[in-house]
Structure 1
Amino acid sequence: MTTLQPDTHHSDPARTPAHPRRWAGLAVLSASLLLVVMDMTILNVALPAITADLAPTSVQQLWMVDAYPLVLAGLLVTVSALGDRWGRKRMLLTGFTVFGVASMLVLLADSPGDVIAVRALLGVGGAMIMPSTLSLIRTLFTDPRERAAALGVWGAMAAVGGALGPIVGGLLLEYFDWHAAFLFNVPVMVVALVAGLVLLPEGRSARPPRIDAAATALSVVGMVALVYAIKNGGKDGLAVDVVVGAVLAVVALTAFVRRCLAATDPMLEVRLFRGRAFTAGVLTALASSIAMAAMLLLGAQWLQLVLGYSPLQTGLALLPMAVGGIIGSPLAPRVAERIGARRVLSGGLAVGGVGFSLLYVAPAPLSYPWLASGLTLVGVGMASLAVASAVIMAGAPAHQAGSAAAVEETSYEVGSVLGVAVLGSLAAAVYRSGLPADELAARGVDAAGAEAARESLGGALEVAATSPGGAWLAETASTSFTTSLADLGLAGGVLMLLTSVVVWWLTPADLDLADAHH
């Protein structure tokens, strides 16, 4: 493989033509990403056990899930800018430490509020880790082709993490209580910290962004308000807090973008969006995350509550998505060299869209083989994320690697939140429509029981265990949830196919991943 000379126009003093330990460094970065992504999905499996032990309200349950992505999304831009100035390796190792300490603190957690606080602190650590892994890949790999291959491995790890989370969580919950799902992080973070110290080079921006206190505040307020409005808007409709959050998000993020455009060395280089390929890469990451988050969350619930799978069986049943990603991600950059990046980006989204649509066209009642086929196709489609990462990171000169990484990671985070909030809320509305309140009352279910049953399938099954018309309620709720999963397939399929068309239109036909800086 020929090593292209680094782009001298945007040279970065931390970059060397070929770092001797770059592949070992990639192993550390990929493993740390794997863990952060796993942590997002482990909770899906652990939530029923936490709920049984701590009896959180539905709002507290929502915050247990939401605290992590809210904090992570809010801090990504600020932490990326700090990493460019302070040192990306230093930021990464600090993130490992915070993540490990937060995971140990779960031993002291004996209330829903404690778990929410632990999840928020994990979000701080995750915000330090995720963009740093991408920026350091840019520092380690100066050859664009090698970098595309490295990002393929990185993308595969993200896919594996999403599927391994439920398996590891399931395994731990078979033998230990829910605390183990958090404690699992501690030894891995210790190993990552030592390996990172030894193997990773320090990387800083040649033109570090100015740390702007006003821009920092605007980005944190804007992102947290945006994520909050999306999540609660899906659940509560246009409630006052949702409208306030949405307005606050628009005002704060608009002010943030204007401030960045006016600065010579902004905290986030928003001008990167002028590049059509960069925008196409970000859109691909966003749509893929929306789809993946909704599919994993609802799929995990359906397998456990409708089919009666144990947490471990559920994790194993979700594996086809990871298998698709593992096979596809390392191959995607090579395929892009053969047939063009545009075809891989757009085609991957289309394949994922077909995977989703299978849930809708499957004969009723939905059976596991159809879900497995859909998961596999979605996993193969997610392989285009490896190319999306390469396009995003190639669209930015080296000194703006932190900005590019922040934009990409933010699109993943916002995508995950949108997936759970919008597609999840759509599925919840379909589920509720199958359990009309008057029908429940006629069957002898009291008002509190009816509310719990319509809130979630888990609630319905608990009410069914003690109410007179229990068998009818359990069957009706399960059927309604299965219908909502099928309708999610239609919504997710349409979203991904439409995004595929937009990405095809945005991406230049002659885009070459070897053109690192154009």
Structure 2
Amino acid sequence: MSTSAGDTTVADGVARRPGAAILALTVAGVAQAADVSLHNTALASAAAEFGMSATQRSVAASAATLALAASILAIGTVGDRYGRRLTLLWCAGALVVGGLVTAAAPDLTVYLIGRVITGIGLAGTLALSMALIRTVAPDRVPKAMSLYFTGQVGIALPLTVIGGGLIGANWRLGYLVVPVVAALALILNKVYVPRSKAVHRRKADPVGLVLVALGLTGLIWGVSNASHGWLTARVLVPVVLGVVALVAFVWWEIRYDEPALPVHLFKNRGLAGALVADVSFNMWQAVMALQLALLWQYVYAYSPLGVTLGQLPATLAMVIGAFAAGRLAARGRRPESLVLLGLAGVALAMFLLAVAGASTPYWVFALALVVGGFSRMLTETAAGGFYVEVPPPDLVGVTVASKPAVGQASFALGSAISSTLLYGGLGRGLPDKLADLGLTPSEQTTVAGWFQDGKVPEWAKGTDLMKQVVAASTDTYITAYRTTMLVFAVVFTFLFGLAWHFLRRRPPERP
């Protein structure tokens, strides 16, 4: 056993090949990015085969996310207490099992079990792979974080393409991609990453872990159902319970002598600013990816493949942004300034998306995607360093685990709120447009039903009235889209100001 310089984390040896160790951690972390894309693509075919209802499909879509949110802080704690590498290896094994169970599922129940196991595995590989960067590269965390995130985005892209081809042949094959990645991660981390765990094994905190699990799952599940209306029981009940549980979690952690996640850590200005950044760029990712994809399909008649190719500039810019963060840090740029620069770019990108119209050229969207993608990863890479460097050595795992926990909740909120704003604006504006065309309330209801069901009667197709209705609907949708993007641009500007408060008032404390 040896102790790395400036740290009290125990390891059975330093990483003899730090580059290989960082690659091993990157492969472990990339599983989550690949799984999200592949699952969203394969779900439609799985739902058709199992005959899922709308409610069952919603559960299937969220099962892994909810399992990840419920377990991630507990897994971070287990990693700190019993070994971060050991826990990561077990979670990689869970990914193998979860993917195989999902791919071979004979019915919906087994399919959901596979997704839950996958979510637990993703929680550990995502959180602990980042936490272990402090073990394998204690003296060059910014550069290691840059390589970690650059590799994640770069590796996830071909995996998504390969998985998409497999899903086209059979949806079950798509769920075998992540198990292959996880098996490779298990081998690489076993060989190249040294052991790492806390010197002082803190007391267990089951109350805190249960409260945060209830809080995150309640909040994410509730807002995920917001398409049914925010004032429905299926939204209000889990959201209220989730918020109450999270408030109780903070209250408990403040008073417990050895909490699972000491919330006082976020008094550190750097860590507080990183938390604000997490909320911003995860919410931006949700709003951009979902609403731009729908705009392109509804207004510009893009095919699903066209949407994927259209958003490719954002992916490529993310790779460059993560790499640039490392280069700029090596040249002496403070991480605080990189976080703020990235947040400013995220807000600017949303303002650019707010100018979209029925005839907006693609290059305008591409510019917004490049600015946003580059800025997002510049921010995430620089902000991630605070989660790795700031906490005491005994709490690296659980502190890093809080990052994706906040990210999952922010992503869900971004998707739900943007959809509410957009379709709320569409619902308010479309009746006025149809009334201007001379349609009675009864006729408006009939026409709205055509669009909702996607079934236009043959007699209506090609008529002047139908063309006018389509034009009015398109105009209303674009107006609602612009308003939604503008609202979020203002939100991101506010979050930039909040992060500025934490990161620019004075240099953040260092451990």
Partner of 2:460: 469
Cα distance per residue 1:31-83 (max 9 Å; x no partner): 22222112113334444444555554333333232222222111111111011
The CA deviation at 1:151 is 1.0
Q: How does 1:87-236 map to 2 (within 5 A)?
A: 87-109=83-105, 115-143=111-139, 146-160=140-154, 167-173=161-167, 175-233=168-226, 235-236=228-229
Residues 338 and 76 (structure 1), Cα distance of their counterparts in 2 relative to 1, 3 Å cut: same
2:148 is matched by which residue type in structure 1?
Answer: W
User: Is residue 340 of structure 1 aligned with residue 341 of structure 2?
Assistant: no
Residues 88 and 365 (structure 1), Cα distance of their counterparts in 2 relative to 1, 3 Å cut: same
Residues 344 and 270 (structure 1), Cα distance of their counterparts in 2 relative to 1, 3 Å cut: same
Partner of 1:503: 499
Residues 363 and 238 (structure 1), Cα distance of their counterparts in 2 relative to 1, 3 Å cut: closer
Partner of 1:26: 22
Q: How does 1:364-379 map to 2 (within 5 A)?
A: 364-379=358-373
CA contact (8 A) 1:80 1:131 kept: yes
| TM-score normalised according to structure 2 size | 0.87
User: Is residue 354 of structure 1 aligned with residue 345 of structure 2?
Assistant: no
Partner of 2:9: 12
Partner of 1:59: 55
The CA deviation at 1:249 is 1.9
2:307 counterpart SS class: helix
The CA deviation at 1:229 is 2.8
CA contact (8 A) 1:356 1:492 kept: yes
CA contact (8 A) 1:320 1:375 kept: yes
Cα distance in 1, alignment partners of residues 35 and 502 from structure 2 = 33
- Which has the higher mean CA deviation after the structures are superposed, 277-286 or 224-233? 224-233
The gaps in structure 2 that reach 5 residues or longer are: none
Cα distance per residue 1:239-260 (max 9 Å; x no partner): 2343332332233222222332
Cα distance per residue 1:204-240 (max 9 Å; x no partner): 1122332222222222112211222333346421223
Cα distance per residue 1:330-364 (max 9 Å; x no partner): 22144255443332211211111111211212343
Cα distance in 2, alignment partners of residues 227 and 270 from structure 1 = 21
Partner of 1:401: 396
User: Is residue 40 of structure 1 aligned with residue 36 of structure 2?
Assistant: yes
Cα distance in 1, alignment partners of residues 346 and 210 from structure 2 = 37
Cα distance in 2, alignment partners of residues 484 and 178 from structure 1 = 35
Cα distance in 2, alignment partners of residues 303 and 113 from structure 1 = 35
Cα distance in 2, alignment partners of residues 481 and 32 from structure 1 = 41
Cα distance per residue 1:102-157 (max 9 Å; x no partner): 222233446555544433332111112111111111111110xx211111122334
Cα distance per residue 1:396-432 (max 9 Å; x no partner): 1211101221121212211221122222332333344
User: Is residue 442 of structure 1 aligned with residue 435 of structure 2?
Assistant: no
Structure 2 counterpart of 1:271, from 264, 272, 277:
264
1:321 is matched by which residue type in structure 2?
Answer: A
1:6 is matched by which residue type in structure 2?
Answer: A
Residues 41 and 470 (structure 1), Cα distance of their counterparts in 2 relative to 1, 3 Å cut: farther
Cα distance per residue 1:429-485 (max 9 Å; x no partner): 3344465599695278489x45xx44xxxxx5x324x66535647776666555544
CA contact (8 A) 2:299 2:358 kept: no
The CA deviation at 1:376 is 0.9
Residues 91 and 372 (structure 1), Cα distance of their counterparts in 2 relative to 1, 3 Å cut: same
Residues 481 and 163 (structure 1), Cα distance of their counterparts in 2 relative to 1, 3 Å cut: farther
Residues 140 and 467 (structure 1), Cα distance of their counterparts in 2 relative to 1, 3 Å cut: farther
Q: How does 1:233-252 map to 2 (within 5 A)?
A: 233=226, 235-252=228-245
The CA deviation at 1:291 is 0.8
The CA deviation at 1:387 is 0.6
Cα distance in 2, alignment partners of residues 475 and 62 from structure 1 = 32
2:195 is matched by which residue type in structure 1?
Answer: E
Cα distance in 2, alignment partners of residues 215 and 179 from structure 1 = 37
Partner of 1:412: 407
Cα distance per residue 1:152-194 (max 9 Å; x no partner): 1223345447766754454334x41322322222222222222
CA contact (8 A) 1:81 1:402 kept: yes
1:442 is matched by which residue type in structure 2?
Answer: E
Q: How does 1:448-463 map to 2 (within 5 A)?
A: 449=449, 453-454=451-452, 460=453, 462-463=454-455
Cα distance in 2, alignment partners of residues 480 and 165 from structure 1 = 38
CA contact (8 A) 1:286 1:415 kept: yes
1:506 counterpart SS class: helix
Residues 237 and 446 (structure 1), Cα distance of their counterparts in 2 relative to 1, 3 Å cut: same
1:209 counterpart SS class: coil
User: Is residue 74 of structure 1 aligned with residue 70 of structure 2?
Assistant: yes
2:171 counterpart SS class: coil
Cα distance in 1, alignment partners of residues 166 and 291 from structure 2 = 21
Cα distance per residue 1:292-340 (max 9 Å; x no partner): 1221223334445554444444323221112111111122144255443
| TM-score normalised according to structure 1 size | 0.85
Cα distance in 2, alignment partners of residues 148 and 394 from structure 1 = 9
Cα distance per residue 1:353-398 (max 9 Å; x no partner): 1112112123433443322221111111111111101122222121
Percent sequence identity over aligned pairs: 23
User: Is residue 84 of structure 1 aligned with residue 83 of structure 2?
Assistant: no
The CA deviation at 1:23 is 1.6
RMSD: 3.0
Cα distance in 2, alignment partners of residues 257 and 501 from structure 1 = 25
CA contact (8 A) 2:31 2:178 kept: yes
Residues 99 and 431 (structure 1), Cα distance of their counterparts in 2 relative to 1, 3 Å cut: farther
- Which has the higher mean CA deviation after the structures are superposed, 47-56 or 354-363? 47-56
Partner of 1:457: none
Q: How does 1:254-265 map to 2 (within 5 A)?
A: 254-265=247-258
Cα distance in 1, alignment partners of residues 390 and 176 from structure 2 = 38
Cα distance in 1, alignment partners of residues 130 and 81 from structure 2 = 16
